[in-house]
Every structure is written in structure tokens, then in C-alpha cells.
Amino acid sequence: MDEDFLLGSETARRLYHEHAKPQPIIDYHCHLNPREIWENRTYRDLAEVWLGGDHYKWRAMRANGVDERYVTGDADGYEKFLAYARTLPQALGNPLYHWSHLELKRYFGIEEPLNERTAPSIWERANRLIREGGFGARDLIKKSNVEVICTTDDPADSLEYHLKLKEDRSFRTKVLPSFRPDKALELNRPGFAEYIRRLGLAAGIPIRTYDDLLAALKGRIDFFHEAGCRVSDHALDVVVYEDASDAEAAAAFSEALEGRTASDEAERKYKTHLLIFLGREYAARGWAMQYHMNAQRNNNSRRMAELGPDTGFDSIGDTAIARPLARLLDALDRENALPKTILYSLHPGHNPIVASMIGNFQGGGIPGKIQFGSAWWFNDTKEGMIAQLKTLADMGLLGRFIGMLTDSRSFLSYTRHEYFRRILCNLIGEWAENGEVPDDMEMLGGIVENISYRNAKEYFGFDNVG
């Protein structure tokens, strides 16, 4: 993994080193904890900063037969690190193999492969650097040249730490909230009524009716906007559309507040009605809207009961998206209220569906208004990224793509942007070497810089956020 890693041609190498590598990072979707950024959280050892909260690594360790005690349990840091060191050599072809070694190289200057034999030396060297300082959350962000971070935040959140960071002029990276109202949409999920009560407290509005809910959400959107939010996010594990009147949505909401389970049809109507309302509000404020579709979550009920969500027991879903997604976007477009929208499907077979769908709703004077989002979660592999880039290029405008995000809970994950940029430059370099695109470094370099940085900067308008 030298400096020309994944760069198979002279053109690719020039594109990466001269154009992609120098660009700052705009991480417009992640799951970092804003409190940890505010406090500049520090770490005891390599295991805590590297393995804590990283369900990608946890899944690999479980697949290698590692007992849960050494994954999420009470084993000490070195025991967990050693278990991962024994696992990594088995992960050839998995992006974890590349990511892990890029993380060791970029943050710790460690270049040899990690395995059981090298683990003791790597553990000692990395921990020596951690003890010397400069490995807090803010330090890692600065080292990674990150300009903007968008965390993922519930409408009921106080945004306390975002507001503190906004006033801290000593930290130059903008840390902005994203609005993720999933809990308000999932009316049949356990705890819905309690969540609505909590949302009402945050909004200062007792929520007794559906109209109260809409008023509370609108108030929270205004609050988020003032805090710098310019993007929403929705986990649409199953995409639905069902025409609904105000009264039908209100009836389903009242039923759920009373603790009753809404029918499938009533749930679809409620979700459709609320998603359209939210889309209008986003469009009115110039926000971008993200739909993350087709994750199948919490498949292992025993582990869910033991460990909770987001611990590595999710996978790819296979529900149909084309018709309900088209109707949902069209409902907003008919009102000229469709916001900038980024579509991701976890199902790689949906790549052509998403890439063709975005072409139906472009325009409005916004380049790339509707985006085919970067290869996500199980697809942010080398081959998954290439497939997404090629499909977008086949059916749309690759040059308007807003590029990569980390979608991570780890402060060491920014090497994923490097990984993506190398893959992008190699692909375009290959096209140039084959004579499929002009050998025009000014043009190709500009496109690489745009995809790596400038397109996202312009698309979200973060420069206008105080």
C-alpha cells in the first residue's frame, strides 16, 4: 500500500496526487457523536479508538469465530485488538483489509501488515503515540483535513453540543446537525407514544393530535435550521406510498398514540402523508433530503435483546422500490416542492433503478438536484464503488456527483474518502488511457476535484452557514 496504491496508470496517479488528494473533506453523512467532538474525547488505547463502535470490524471478528467477549464484551483492550489482528489476514478482498491498513498508516505511521505476529509491536507503537497526545477526536478531524461534518440527529435532540461548537472559533471544522425523524414516522414501533411525548417537550408543544405533531416537527426543523442544519435523512428500510387524506393520517396517528397497532394500509397512509409534509418543509428551506433504502435491520433477535441496535446484525433488504419511490417523489414534484434529494439503496441490484430514477426529477436550475448517493454500507467496497460510479456515468452525469461520505461512528474512518478518491481516479484514468475520454488533464482534474469536494460544497451551501 504505497503512495500509488490502487492507481494503475500514470493518468490515475496524476489525477489523485495533483487533484484529489489535496481536497478537504466534506463528510455530509456520518454518525459521530457531537459531544465527543466538543469534549475532544481522548482514548485509553488503540482498541478503544479503533474497535469501539465499529460494527464492520465486529462482524468480521464474529465470522472468524471470535467469542463476543472479545468483540463487544468485557475483555481488555489488548485481548480485543489481538482478536482483530488474528481476524484481519482472513479478510483479503474485504474493504476492511484496505481500510484498516490505511488507518494504521495515515494516523500512526505504521506500514507493515497487521497479523498475530506483528500485533504486539503495532500495539506498543500506536499506544505510545496515543499517550503522547494529539489523538483526541478534534485532533483526528484536523489531521484528516475535514471542513464539514454532518452528524445524524433526532428532532427531539437539544443540539447542545452543536450550538457550543458553533460558538467555538478555535475549531475550524463546521459540525452541523442532520434532521432524522424516523421515530416520528414509525408509528407501530414500540415506544412510539413515549417518543411523541418527548418530541412535544423539545418543541414546547403538547402533542395530542396529528396537527400538533406537524407543528412540533415544523418548529424543530426551524430550530435545526438555525443551528446550521441543511440536510435531512430518512431510513426508509421499506419504501411505501399510499394516497392519504389529512383525516386518514390523523386517524392513524391517534390510534398509535392510544397504543393500538395501525393496519398496514393505515401505516402506509400515515408515512406517505408525513413524508410529503416533511419534503415540503425541506424544500422551503433549501435543504437536501436523503433516503437510505432497503436495509434489513436487527435480524438476530437474540443479539438484539443482548446488545441493542447498530451492533452488526443488519443486512441487505430486497423490497421493491421503483413504483413507491417514483410516486413519492412525484407527489412532491407536482407541487414544485421536491427538495434536493440523495437516494441510496442498500440493494446493489437497485443501482440501475436509482440511477434512472434520478433523471425523472432533475432541473430547477440546480445541477445534480437529484443524486444517486455513493455506494453505501455493504456496497462501499472497491467493486461496489466502481459499480455505483459506472452506473451513474452510464445513465446520468458523473461530473455532478457529490462524492463520498463516511457513514461511520469512528474518527479514524476518513481514510474511506481517500479509498474512494483513489478508486475514482483509477477509473477515470483507465478511461483516459483507453481513449474513452479525452487525455485532457485540466478537464479530468477539474471533474475529480469537483466530485471529491466542490460539488458537495456547492450542493449543500455550507459556506452560507454561520
Mean pLDDT of 223-242: 98
SS3 category, 463 = helix
The answer on pLDDT for 423 being more than 80 is yes
Eight-class DSSP state of 298? -
Strand blocks (E) in 277-416: 288-293, 295-296, 315-316, 340-345, 370-372
pLDDT tens, position by position, 100-134: 999 999 999 999 999 999 999 999 999 999 999 99
The answer on pLDDT for 466 being more than 90 is no
pLDDT tens, position by position, 10-49: 999 999 999 999 999 999 999 999 999 999 999 999 999 9
- The band of 272, judged by pLDDT with boundaries at 50, 70 and 90, is very high
For 459, the grid coordinates are 450542493
The pLDDT value recorded for residue 1 is: 86
Helix, strand, coil proportions of the chain in percent (round to 5)? 55, 10, 35
The pLDDT value recorded for residue 207 is: 98
pLDDT tens, position by position, 335-344: 999 999 999 9
| Non-local CB neighbours of 403 within 8 Å, separated by 6+ positions | 26, 374, 420, 451, 452, 453, 455, 456
Mean pLDDT of 359-385: 97
Return d(Cα 221, Cα 227) in angstroms, integer. Answer: 10
The per-residue pLDDT of the chain, averaged, comes to 97
3-state secondary structure 160-187: HHHHHHHHCCCCCCEEECCECCHHHHCC
Mean pLDDT of 201-221: 98
Residue entry with cell 432524522: 180
40 Rama sector, left if φ>0, alpha if ψ -120 to 50, beta otherwise = left
What percent of the chain clears pLDDT 90, i.e. is strictly above it?
A: 99
